[in-house]
Amino acid sequence: MRCELYTTEYYIIYILTQGYYFTRIVATKSKNTIPDCQRMHWSALLTCILTVSLINQVSGLEIVNGKYGETVEIPCKNGRDKAKDVTVAKWKYGNDIKILVKKAGQNANISEDVIYKDRVSIKEDFSLIIKQVTLGDQKTFTCIVVTSGDILENNVQLVIYKAPSQPQIAQQASVMETGKLTTLAQCRTSGANPAANITWFKNKTPLVPDEMGIVINTVVDVDSRTGLSTTTSKLVYAAVKEDIDAQFTCRVEHIRSAEMESAAIHFNVIYPTETVSLQVMSHGPFKEGDNVTLKCIADGNPPPKSYNFYIKDEKKTVENSNTYNLTHLTRANTGEYKCSLVDNEEMASFAFITVDYLDVVLSTTGKITKKLGESFEITLNVNASGKHQVSWRKGNSKLDSFLHKFDKLKYSDAGVYECVVSMAGLQKTHTFELIVESPPVIKSLIKKRGDESMNKVLSCEAEGSPKPTVHWSVNGTNVAETAYVDGKIMYSITIVVKVNLTVSCTVSNVLGSDIKNINVSAFVDDVTMDKREDQKDDYSDQAALAVGIVVGLILATLAIGLAYWLYLKKFSRQGSWKTGEKEDGSAEESKKLEENKSQKADV
């Protein structure tokens, strides 16, 4: 019958005043018969009991710590004895093995001990100096002091320590397969006393052995010559998918040095494909004429080298690539696409692509010529895959609304029209130029007085399209014209009038002509009359007001005259009735009558 015994590490630690010294007994995993397992168990137990007994024996010793390779000073009674009272001081170790003897007033007598004869000396206070200490010096030294009245003996335990080296990673694996125990790496530190401890970490978290996915084997080797320890720890690990970017480190811990950590290590994790994803790499929305890249992504490591792409139910196998390009899309490319593994077509993924389109047909293009007053209609047909917007412009101005039918065209309707239809990144623009034609017509011919008394300025206003030209029957100066807007234009000319004459204005274009005459007089009064005629519309209200005032004054004068006449007639009759005399009256009455007339006249 066989058994499997797992024993842990026994740490027997005892405190040594200024530090820690521990003995580490490592029992490794073994598989033996039951008697062998029992012997291992009792052996470990016995070692523990003996070590505890040793601790009890040395617990009363004075402890001195020394650093490996350096000089250490071991005090004698810690300076409690005065040097002048000491006649003889002696240092020894083991079974009375003498190191040196010093008598008062004499130099120290160093023994021929090959271990210490070239490395020891004694101070004035009888402290023992040992240079270049090694682990061989880790022992109990005895100081014997003879005074005039007594012989004193003091034992001192010397403990030597050495810090370990920086951790080094070796035998690192480059590839790990998920679920399979594989030696990940080996961490090593050397030259330590006592032996250093090594801990493994993944992403700063300590790894705890579980004998399934994590196995850690640690070995401590002691150099037979120096006595220094080398600790080697091997990590056996079963990787998972999440370990792709994991960082593994090992940390060295020692009671006489700071913690030291190795550089981080990584490894490639191999695992099979579990899912496939089809991605559309180009940014939508897509329109006719665009190019699209399809990408098939598998989550396995390493990823597959070849894939199947299904384009409109047609399978296309792509070698050494995971992409497929669709060029010059049309509306027929709208639909579902698929990709799969070559060796497992059941493992597949799907994606849907929509290709937008916009068709615009405008019934009118190029230059369109119509007659003034004629009707005109425009048709716009839009075929789009989604909601679209239509906007119109005329020249540089945006039209808030646009009527597709003109019942009676005007000159102002002429111009360049732009129709813009847009939808989700698509835009179509159509333009046409509308020309409204008509023979020219003179709307007015007027005259004004110029800067000089005998100068006249003639203005001829015309409408027509194409733009009419002008011809004057006389020569003049300051010939000018206004801007041609909406079929209207004004021509002007300045002439010097010396005799009465008739001036004609003739306007014409390719469709016809029109003529109008105006009489121009050389007299100044004519100029004034001309000016009134020119301003007839502007001053009609003022003229009417002036006429009303004049008529009012005339009527008021007539009323006053009539009242006066009636008064005279009445007064004359009253005189005749009172006196009964003839109408001529007396001289005195005639005088009073004249005075009354005078007063009435003053009123």
Q: What CATH number did the domain enclosing 134 receive?
A: 2.60.40.10
Q: Do residue 192 and residue 249 come from a single domain?
A: yes
Handedness of CA 531, 533, 535, 540 (dihedral sign): positive
Q: Do residue 441 and residue 495 come from a single domain?
A: yes
Q: Quick one: which H or E segment has residue 575?
A: helix 540-579
The Cα 533–Cα 301 span in angstroms is 102
Percent of the chain with pLDDT over 70: 79
Asked whether the beta carbons of 192 and 163 are under 8 A apart, the reply is yes
Rounded to 10 deg, the angle between the 587-602 and 540-579 helix axes is 160
pLDDT at 82 > cutoff 70: no
Lowest model confidence (mean pLDDT) among 123-127, 212-216, 403-407: 403-407
Task: Identify the residue with better confidence: 566 or 278.
Answer: 278
Domain edge (last residue) among 324, 356, 388: 356
**Single-letter amino acid code for the residue at 306:** S
Across the range 493-522, mean pLDDT stands at 92
Predicted pLDDT at 112: 87
Q: What's the angle, vertex CA 384, arms to CA 380 and CA 389, rounded to 5?
A: 65
CA neighbours within 13 Å on the CB side: how many for 276? 25
pLDDT tens by residue, 263-273? 999 889 999 99
**Single-letter amino acid code for the residue at 276:** V
Predicted pLDDT at 552: 76
Q: Do residue 524 and residue 496 come from a single domain?
A: yes
Give the residue from 139, 249, 135, 124 showing the smallest Cα distance to 184: 249
Q: Please indicate, yes or no, if residue 414 is contained in any of the structural domains.
A: no
Phi, psi of 106 (to 5 degrees): -125, 160
pLDDT at 275 > cutoff 70: yes
Q: Domain count for the chain, please give it.
A: 6
Hey, what are 567's tokens? 């008064």
Q: Do residue 217 and residue 133 come from a single domain?
A: no
Q: Do residue 217 and residue 137 come from a single domain?
A: no
Q: Please indicate, yes or no, if residue 573 is contained in any of the structural domains.
A: no
Q: Please indicate, yes or no, if residue 301 is contained in any of the structural domains.
A: yes
Q: Please indicate, yes or no, if residue 406 is contained in any of the structural domains.
A: no
- The pLDDT confidence band at residue 548, using thresholds 50, 70 and 90, is low
Across the range 440-462, mean pLDDT stands at 88
The Cα 558–Cα 571 span in angstroms is 20
Q: Do residue 117 and residue 89 come from a single domain?
A: yes
Q: Which of 511-521 are b and which e, b meaning 16 or more Cβ less than 10 Å from the residue's Cβ? A: eebbebebebb
Q: Please indicate, yes or no, if residue 446 is contained in any of the structural domains.
A: yes
Domain edge (last residue) among 225, 255, 270: 270
Query: Residue 447: which domain range?
Result: 436-534
Q: Please indicate, yes or no, if residue 388 is contained in any of the structural domains.
A: no
Question: What is the DSSP annotation of 98-156?
Answer: EEEEEETTS--EE---TTTTTTEEE-TT--EEE-S--GGG-SEEEEEEEESS-EEEEEE
Asked whether the beta carbons of 305 and 319 are under 8 A apart, the reply is yes
pTM of the complete model = 0.51
Q: Please indicate, yes or no, if residue 128 is contained in any of the structural domains.
A: yes
Domain edge (last residue) among 109, 138, 161: 161
Largest CA distance in the chain: 202
Q: Do residue 558 and residue 529 come from a single domain?
A: no
pLDDT at 245 > cutoff 80: yes
140-147/151-161 β-pairing? antiparallel
Q: Do residue 518 and residue 453 come from a single domain?
A: yes
Total residue length of the chain: 603
Predicted pLDDT at 96: 86
Q: Please indicate, yes or no, if residue 370 is contained in any of the structural domains.
A: no
Q: Do residue 479 and residue 550 come from a single domain?
A: no
Q: Helix (H, G, I), strand (E, B), or coil: what is residue 36?
A: helix
- The pLDDT confidence band at residue 321, using thresholds 50, 70 and 90, is very high
Q: Do residue 512 and residue 551 come from a single domain?
A: no
Cβ-Cβ contacts under 8 Å for 368 (sequence gap 6 or more): 376, 432, 433, 434, 435
**Distance from CA of residue 88 to its chain's centroid?**
87
Alpha helices in 194-233 (DSSP H): none
Q: Do residue 528 and residue 448 come from a single domain?
A: yes
Q: Do residue 184 and residue 237 come from a single domain?
A: yes
What's the whole-number average pLDDT of the chain?
A: 81
